[in-house]
Amino acid sequence: MENRKKIRVMIVDDSIMFREVIKRGISSDPLIEVVALARDPFEARDKILNFHPDVITCDVEMPRMNGIEFVRRLLPQYFAPIIMVSSVSNAVFEAMEAGAIDFVVKPDIQSTNGVEEFICDLVQKIKTASMIKNPSPGIKKAAIKVPDKMIHNADTIIAIGASTGGTEAIYSILRSLPPTIPGIVITQHIPPVFSKMFAERLNSQTSLKVKEAETGDYADQGTVLIAPGDRHMRIKKIGRRYQVECFHGEKVNGHCPSVDVLFHSVAKEACGHAVGIILTGMGQDGAKGLLAMRYKGSRTIGQDEESSIVYGMPMAAFDIGAVEKQAALGNIPQVLLDMIG
């Protein structure tokens, strides 16, 4: 264990105080070494070549050049997994679209508990990011053939689970689907508040009706319900419709919301009238739930390794036999429509 190579991290933030908070916090982990600090992207550019960091943490709002533009300019020249550090803002989704792999929310520096939770979250995300060796290939929007029978499958529901890299993966799937698609329920590991912002962003960028789920909402045709960032979500069949319940609870597989909680409820309530999709992410959340869905007759899809930012959750599901069909992210919309049709 003593000989294990440390993860080399560079911190980019215009606040000297916040640079030190992050440095002291993450350096307390024996597997992480802070090799460089930079106050802006221009200083970072020079230090990257000297220190060759494995992972970069980057503030979103900085003078001279913001973090989003930095990500856009850096990645074509030098690939390193970038974790954005941001206040509550839609800017994080722009950064993810530009190529950042994850984000954390800046805490109130006066809150000891808030800072500790922030550091714990950042440490875990740095460790996940360090496993990413190659940039994910760009996802092109493919031409989709919509089967005629899909419109009549009123009992069908689609369940999707994702974690690291999932916001862009989910967007790439939803943007290709027609408004006649059966109802979709999604659990994405994401902080509270951002789940609502994510839903609103998808609602404006796709042809589907997307919203953060509330207890009592129905997953009807053309509707997408996203689990709130601090609550589990499960479904209940009411007649031929599916209603969601969002509730506080203990973490499952280290997460709330948990993909397994959603998938197990779909297995129970929808039986064979469902399609489950597990996307990029670290860990095993969703694997057992997807297997339960398959045992009950549902169709199941897993994202392949090459197109995954982190091939953890899809691999765990594939290894236990939960995945019926493995596909590249760009092909999943058509695989889904073919299964429904």
| Each residue's pLDDT tens digit, 13-57 | 999 999 999 999 999 999 999 999 999 999 998 899 999 999 999
Averaged pLDDT, 151-169: 87
Averaged pLDDT, 210-226: 97
The answer to whether residue 195 sits within a structural domain is: yes
Averaged pLDDT, 99-107: 91
Last residue of a domain, one of 100, 129, 158: 129
**Long-range contacts (CB closer than 8 Å, 24 or more residues apart) made by 38-47:** 38/10, 38/11, 38/12, 38/13, 39/12, 39/13, 39/14, 40/12, 40/14, 40/64, 40/65, 41/12, 41/65, 41/67, 41/69, 41/70, 41/73, 41/74, 44/10, 44/12, 44/70, 45/74, 47/10
Q: Are residues 153 and 286 in the same domain?
A: yes
Q: Are residues 170 and 61 in the same domain?
A: no
pLDDT in tens, 181-204: 999 999 999 998 899 999 999 999
The answer to whether residue 201 sits within a structural domain is: yes
Percent of the chain, pLDDT > 70?
93
Averaged pLDDT, 4-9: 90
Rounded distance between C-alpha atoms, residue 323 and residue 317, angstroms: 6
- The reported pLDDT for the residue numbered 133 is 72
Please report which confidence band the pLDDT of residue 278 belongs to, taking 50, 70 and 90 as the band edges.
very high
Percent of the chain, pLDDT > 90?
78
Averaged pLDDT, 69-74: 90
The answer to whether residue 135 sits within a structural domain is: no
Q: Are residues 115 and 196 in the same domain?
A: no
- The reported pLDDT for the residue numbered 285 is 98
The answer to whether residue 243 sits within a structural domain is: yes
Catalytic residue of the set 285, 298, 307, 308: 285
Question: Does the structure show a pLDDT above 70 at 310?
Answer: yes
Question: Does the structure show a pLDDT above 50 at 219?
Answer: yes
Last residue of a domain, one of 129, 163, 196: 129
Domain residue limits at 11: 7-129
Q: Are residues 76 and 154 in the same domain?
A: no
Q: Are residues 52 and 13 in the same domain?
A: yes
Q: Are residues 125 and 208 in the same domain?
A: no
Q: Are residues 166 and 300 in the same domain?
A: yes
pLDDT in tens, 287-297: 999 999 999 99
Question: Does the structure show a pLDDT above 80 at 139?
Answer: no
CATH of the domain at 118: 3.40.50.2300
Please report which confidence band the pLDDT of residue 113 belongs to, taking 50, 70 and 90 as the band edges.
confident
Averaged pLDDT, 319-332: 97
Average pLDDT of every residue of the chain: 91
Q: Among 100-104, 147-151, 217-221, 248-252, whose mean pLDDT is lowest?
A: 147-151
- The reported pLDDT for the residue numbered 136 is 54
The answer to whether residue 136 sits within a structural domain is: no
Specify whether 189 is catalytic. yes
Q: Are residues 86 and 233 in the same domain?
A: no
Catalytic residue of the set 40, 189, 232, 264: 189
The more confident residue out of 153 and 206 is 206
**What is the number of domains present in the chain?**
2
Question: Does the structure show a pLDDT above 70 at 318?
Answer: yes
- The reported pLDDT for the residue numbered 341 is 79
Catalytic residue of the set 86, 130, 136, 163: 163
Last residue of a domain, one of 68, 99, 129: 129
CATH of the domain at 156: 3.40.50.180
Q: Are residues 301 and 254 in the same domain?
A: yes
- The reported pLDDT for the residue numbered 339 is 94
Specify whether 163 is catalytic. yes
Q: Are residues 323 and 214 in the same domain?
A: yes
Q: Are 185 and 160 in contact (CB under 8 A)?
A: yes
- The reported pLDDT for the residue numbered 149 is 56
Q: Are residues 263 and 155 in the same domain?
A: yes
Q: Which residues contact 46 (CB under 8 A, 6 or more apart)?
A: none
User: Tokens 């070549």 appear where?
Assistant: 49
Q: Are 70 and 47 in contact (CB under 8 A)?
A: no
The answer to whether residue 138 sits within a structural domain is: no
Q: Are residues 121 and 152 in the same domain?
A: no
The answer to whether residue 137 sits within a structural domain is: no
Question: Does the structure show a pLDDT above 60 at 138?
Answer: no
Rounded distance between C-alpha atoms, residue 6 and residue 28, angstroms: 12
pTM above 0.75? yes
- The reported pLDDT for the residue numbered 1 is 42
The answer to whether residue 203 sits within a structural domain is: yes
Averaged pLDDT, 296-320: 96
- The reported pLDDT for the residue numbered 134 is 64
Closest by CA position to 290, among listed 333, 323, 247: 323
